Amino acid sequence: MCLSFLFQTGSNNFIWLMSDNMHHQWLLLAACFWVIFMFMVASKFITLTFKDPDGYGAKQEPLILTAVTKVEEARVPEEKHWTKEFQPTGKAFTGNLLHHPLVHMERLELLRNVCRDAALRNLSHTAVSKFVLDRIFVCDKHKILFCQTPKVGNTQWKKVLIVLNGMYSSIDEIPESVVHDHEKNGLPRLSSFSDSEIKKRLNLYFKFFIVRDPFERLISAFKDKFVHNPRFEPWYRHEIAPSIIRKYRRNRTETRGLQFEDFVRYLGDPNHRWLDVQFGDHIIHWVTYVELCAPCEITYSVIGHHETLEDDAPYILKAAGIDRLVSYPTIPPGITVYNKTKVERYFSGISKRDIRRLYVRFEGDFKLFGYREPDFLLN
């Protein structure tokens, strides 16, 4: 009986010990799984937090991950690979300012490379003359230089500078008649300073200008000055247009006003300068970006593109340190879209020879700023 009691007691103790061991083993196993799970979560978090595919920005918050992914996706289209119908409008980069530094660095690098190309030197270099200095507006208060390139939204940038210079408290208050009146708009030109002051500003200030497809800009200039003429500038129709017609119109029986074909022949003529001298500063609406802003001689901080102005404008304001002081005016939907159909329509009745001569003159602008040669010249 005693043996039976001892056996029974031993069995119970053994069962209890076994049960207790199994309980501890399950706890240990669960703890191991918990540690492994936490390690995996921590590892994933670390990987995501410090992912920096573009190599800039010391600190990357997890919240930026979506933007980083979009950068990788948005990097595919570059200026020289636009689709046939449209060049980019900036929509791919909307809300994605992380992509902007890379875009603008690539633009400036392209500019430097083309400037070094000896074969294009005559098309990419120009002297920093009074004509160039007259195009550059100064905001001393915020240390900004803006080079005017007409037909790419310059009126709005002038309004921004007018507000920054303190002439008006907001863009909406500025009368349209004041914007282009350089005696009233309070925008000093760089040419108004002494040589030493000019050099100081060129070396120290934030400098920028805007470009667009060169041929589309010429169409815009033609329509604005010789067709619609919304600012009532009669000298374009009554003085400049007749001079171009007399020199370049082939069909002498044609009695209509200046046609785009006449305009193209004038601009593509290697001897166009003798007329340019007669026209004076009015030529700023159609001369090359090189002649206007000397981009190979002046080291610009940013070069914006009209086709991506929706994103370039806020980026420029931020880069210049004025984004909290003023905003770029609202851009009407679709106004910055490159319209390939319109460009082809305007050039459709013009000989390949005349278009080729025009392209030769503006080739520097195409190459410096990454615009592709038009398809109708390649066919």
Give residue-wise pLDDT tens across range 303-332: 999 999 999 999 999 999 999 999 999 998
Position 122 in a domain: yes
Which of 350, 20, 294, 267 lies closest to 131, judged by CA? Answer: 294
pTM: 0.74
Enter the tokens of residue 232. 């009532």
d(CA 54, CA 304): 21
Whether 114 is covered by a domain: the verdict is yes
* Distance in angstroms (rounded) separating the CA atoms of residues 114 and 106: 12
Q: In whole angstroms, what is the distance from residue 293 CA to residue 300 CA?
A: 10
In angstroms, the CA 325 to CA 318 distance is: 10
The answer to whether residue 303 sits within a structural domain is yes
Average pLDDT (190-194) is 98
Counting residues of the chain whose pLDDT is more than 70, the rounded percentage is 73
Q: Which residue has the higher pLDDT, 291 or 349?
A: 291
Q: What is the sign of the dihedral through the CA atoms of 285, 289, 290 and 293?
A: positive
Domain tally, the chain: 1
- What gap in Å lies between CA 244 and CA 275, rounded to an integer? 8
pLDDT interval class at 127 (50, 70, 90): very high
Domain coverage including residue 187? 99-377
Residue 154 lies in a domain: yes
* Residue 133: φ, ψ to 5°: -65, -30
Tens of pLDDT along 15-46? 443 445 555 555 556 555 555 555 454 444 33
Which residue reads 């460009």 in tokens?
343
Angle CA(166)–CA(171)–CA(177) in degrees, nearest 5? 90
In a domain, 189, yes or no: yes
Tell me if 316 sits within 8 A of 156, measured CB to CB.
no
Q: Answer whether residue 331 is part of any domain.
A: yes
| Residue 142 is assigned to a structural domain of this protein | yes
